[in-house]
Structure 1
Amino acid sequence: MPPPPRPPKNSNSSETKPEPPQNDAMAKAKERQARFKALQARAKSGNERNLKETAAETQRLSTDPNLANSLARKHAFASHNLLKADTEAAGEDFERKRAWDWTIDESEKWDRRMEKKQRHRDDVAFQDYTQDARKVYTRQMRELQPNLEAYERDKMAAIEKAAANGDLEIVETADGEMIAVDKNGSFYSTADSIGFTDNKPDRAAVDRLVGDLKKAEEVRLKKRKERRGDEESDVTYINDKNKQFNQKLARFYNKYTTEIRDSFERGTMI
Structure 2
Amino acid sequence: MPPAKKRKTRATAESSEEVQPLDAVTNAEESTETPSESIPQKTNEPTPSTASSSTSDAAAKAKERQERFKALQARAKSSAQTNLKEATLESQRLATDPNLLTSLNRKSAVASHNLLKADAEAAGEDFERKRAWDWTIEESERWDKRLKKKEAHRDDQAFQDYRQDSRKVYKRQIRDLKPDMDFYEKEKMAAVEKAAASGGLEIVETDDGELVAVDKDGTFYSTADSTGFVEHKPEKAAVDRLVKDLQQAEEARLKKQRARNAANGEDGDVTYINDKNKQFNQKLSRFYNKYTAEVRDSFERGTAI
Whichever of the two has the greater Rg, that structure is 2
Which structure has greater helix proportion? Answer: 2
The TM-score by the shorter chain falls in which range?
0.3 to 0.5
What is the TM-score with the length of structure 2 in the denominator?
0.43
